[in-house]
Structures are given as C-alpha cells and as structure tokens.
Structure 1
Amino acid sequence: MLLVMAGNVRAATDVGRFTEMTRLVVPLGRGGARPGVTVAHDMIRHEVTLDLSGVPRRGVNSLLRQVEVAGGRHRLQRHRGGVQVVIWLPFNNIQAYWQVDNSRRVLRVDIGSGRYLLPEQPRLRVADLLPKKLPGRENIAEAEKAWADGDLSRARRLLRSREHEGGMTG
C-alpha cells in the first residue's frame, strides 16, 4: 500500500476501508499521556469533526497545515479541555479513522471516501426494542454489530437465517 503524508492516494481494491484517502500524521511530543480523540462524520456536508485533548499546540498546527496541503479547509475552536477541528475535504461518503502510534509518538488520522456507507449516527438498535423473550433476538443484535463493523455479508447472512427460522414473530 502506498501512503503519502497529507496527499490524496488512490487505494487499490484490497486496501481496507477507503477507495481514496488522505493520511494526516500529528506529532504528540514527549509527554507520556495518551491523547483523547473523538471523531464525528457528516457525509452530507463532507466534513469530519475531530475533538482532540492532550495534543500539543505544535501538533494541532501541523494537522492544520497538512489539511491545507491536501486541498481541504478547516475551522479550529479551542476549548478548556483541548481543541475541536472541523475538516472539509472533497470526498464523497467521507469517513475518518484514527490510531495512536506510541513508539513514534504520533497520531494518524485517515480521512477518505469510505468503501461502505456508514449507518446514520446515532444508530437505532432494533434488538433493544424487541421483547426479551423473542427467539432469535441475539441474531438480530449480532447482525447490527456486524453491520456497524462494516461486515455487511455477515449481517445479511444473520438476518436471512433469522428470516428462515420464522420471521420476526417466532
């Protein structure tokens, strides 16, 4: 897999979650604290919101420069616990995933066009609405979890097995 820091990359068909992506690498400095990261996707506005805490100022500045180099726009808001960065990049079905590399002390944020559509958030959990004694309720909960994890074939298989067992009425 070819990765270019803060550059758009066309992913091959076997490369994970994206069809096209940008990787942003944020230095975390020498501190031993693990950063707090929260990600929210908005596919309609083509934006990703990152809530960061424990990331040094130079790391945030590096993130903003990389977004500009990648052809995106950003909005930064500082708050007491850290910063909120809203990033606009020209991706359809925009999604973001992050990972902390403790050995290199960097935060990697991958933003790109998702291979699969994500369910709307917050996600409605149908299994929680069903009666506890309904046979096959566990299959529905497993199917929802598989769907959320992006394993659509497993989710479909679980729902079909539930349908063959007798539908939703048992």
Structure 2
Amino acid sequence: MKSNSLILCMLLLFTFSCKNEPKSDVENSKTETALNENNKSLKGTWELTGFYNYKDNVVVDSFDTSSSSRQLKMYTDTKVMWCKHRPADSSEWFGYGTYKYDGDRLTEVLDFGSRVMNQVIAEKKQFTFELTLQQNSFQQIELDEEGNRIYSENYVRVE
C-alpha cells in the first residue's frame, strides 16, 4: 500500500512540475527574427560591402568597400540611421530620419545628420531608391531623373 501511495505521489508531483511556461524573451526574439528574415524585412543592422555602377540599367562595374572605412545602416520599424567611419577623413558622416518601403522602392527622409550631411539635408531631405531586398542582403539603387539605374550600395545583414 505504501509503495502504491508513493508511486501515486510521484506521478502527481511529476505531472504538476511539467506545466507549460510562456516562451522566454530570448525565444520570442529568435522567433521574431526568423519571421522578419522570412518576410525580407529591412529591420536590423546592415553593413555596406560594395557598389555597382550601371550603364543602360546593366551593371558595368563593381567594387568592394575599402578596408579602411565602414558604413552601417540600422532600421527599426520606422526609423533609419546610418554612419560612416573613414579614419583618413576628419569629417563626420551620419544621418537620421524615417523610412518606408513598398517592396521595390525605399524612401528615406532625413531629419538631421553630421555637419556635412546637414548641408546636404538643407538642399534635399528625401532620398528615394529602387530596392532589391533578400533575407540577408539588399541593394539600394540610385536612379536618374528618367528612372535609369546609376549606381547601387550593396549591404549585408549584420544583425
């Protein structure tokens, strides 16, 4: 009888100790990241890896970034910030603002930036690019007034 009671108590203890816990923040974050990657989201941190030059909308030249400089872009749900590190250049390079994209067009509206960028922003706040977005890379392509491709900045996902 004692052994039956002991087995029953152990079974009950085991049953109640196996309750479902909500997913941890880490698990939720991993799930969200996976969903964003499947949806080809811009949300995250990206590093510039190279450029393409176009002629007649065809890539005619490509080159990688210099090992002496880095450029990063960070996107949240609605905000964008980019910064460029160029040790040989004493001027600062960064910009901050909002963005939106509709699948093939990326529009960034900069609110402010570094001293050099504020001069650019005074003349032009809105920048529109053709966007080619993959899960872990994207190209933002500058277009001329007629809609022809001029050059692209090519990025890979860092986080």
> With structure 2 as the length reference, what TM-score do the two structures score?
0.24
> With structure 1 as the length reference, what TM-score do the two structures score?
0.23
